[in-house]
Structures are given as C-alpha cells and as structure tokens.
C-alpha cells in the first residue's frame, strides 16, 4: 500500500541516532584532538603535568590544563596532588579512560596504516 518506499526512505538507525543530547555532548567532549592525544599518552603510564606536556608536544600550558580539567570532570582521568615543594601532580587513566584508550589505539593504528593512502589521495585531489 505504498508504505514500502516510505519505510525505505526513513532516517537510518544507529547508536547516535537514538542517542539523547547527553550522549551527543559527551561524544563532542571526547572527539577532539587534544583530549584523545592526552588519553593516548596517559595510557602508556601515569605522568606528571610537565611530562605529559612534553609527551603530547605542541600543546600549550593552557590547553593542557583546560583539557585535563574536562577529562577529570568526566571521570576519565584522576588527578593526584602530592603536597610537596615544589608541588607534584600525577595524572592517570581511570577504568573508563582506559577503555577509551583502547579505541584511540585503534585510531592511531588506522592513521599509520592509511598514511600512504591518504597522502597519495591528497596529491590526486590537489591536482
């Protein structure tokens, strides 16, 4: 009765189609360059603020603190302050953070694997 076409034309289904606004917000929080890089490097081992800055590389003091605060608020990173002089602060992944790290690992692997493919695609496109 003409409904087949309409069904076929319906919007697609996926986790994010069904997701509420909170899921979208979290996805946006997490799907950003600095947050993922921080997760990736903290996955190697617990690090101090300065170590993390050097490891990530190219991130400013301000962006690092800002992203670490968001990560801490979302419960992906724990912040341990040692009341010494000079102060020492250790950052490490929570269980949730480590689970995300596994995903980011996959993304790093993907980047390595398709590096050449992407490079040649770019030169083709730019010509």
Binding site for its own copies (CB under 8 A): 11-17, 19, 22-24, 26-28, 30-33, 36-37, 40-41, 43-45, 47, 51, 54-55, 58, 72-76, 96, 99-100, 102-103, 105-115, 117-122, 124-126
Q: Who's near 61: CB < 8 A, 6+ residues apart?
A: 53
Nearer Cβ to its own copies, position 32 or 60? 32
| Other C-beta atoms lying within 10 Å of the C-beta of residue 17 | 8
Query: Which residue in the set 32, 46, 111, 121 belongs to the binding site for DNA (CB under 7 A)?
Result: 32
Report the C-alpha gap between 5 and 15 in whole angstroms: 24
State the minimum distance, in angstroms, from the CB of residue 59 to DNA: 6
We find the least distance from the C-beta atom of residue 4 to its own copies, in angstroms, to be 17
Angle ∠(35,36,39) on CA atoms, nearest 5: 90
Contacts of 42 (CB under 8 A, 6+ apart): 52, 77, 91, 92, 93, 97, 101
Among its own copies, DNA, none, what binds residue 46 when CB lies within 5 to 8 Å by partner kind?
none
CB closer to DNA, 61 vs 113:
61
């Amino acid at each position: 009765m003409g409904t087949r076409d309409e069904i076929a034309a319906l919007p697609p289904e996926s986790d994010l189609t069904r997701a509420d606004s909170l899921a979208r917000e979290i996805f946006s929080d997490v799907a950003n360059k600095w947050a993922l890089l921080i997760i990736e490097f903290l996955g190697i081992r617990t690090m101090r603020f300065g170590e993390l800055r050097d490891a990530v590389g190219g991130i400013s003091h301000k962006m690092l603190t800002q992203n670490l605060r968001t990560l801490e608020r979302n419960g992906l990173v724990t912040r341990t302050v040692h009341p010494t002089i000079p102060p020492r602060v250790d950052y490490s992944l929570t269980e949730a953070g480590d689970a995300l790290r596994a995903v980011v690992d996959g993304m790093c692997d993907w980047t390595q694997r398709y590096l050449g493919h992407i490079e040649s695609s770019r030169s083709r496109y730019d010509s």
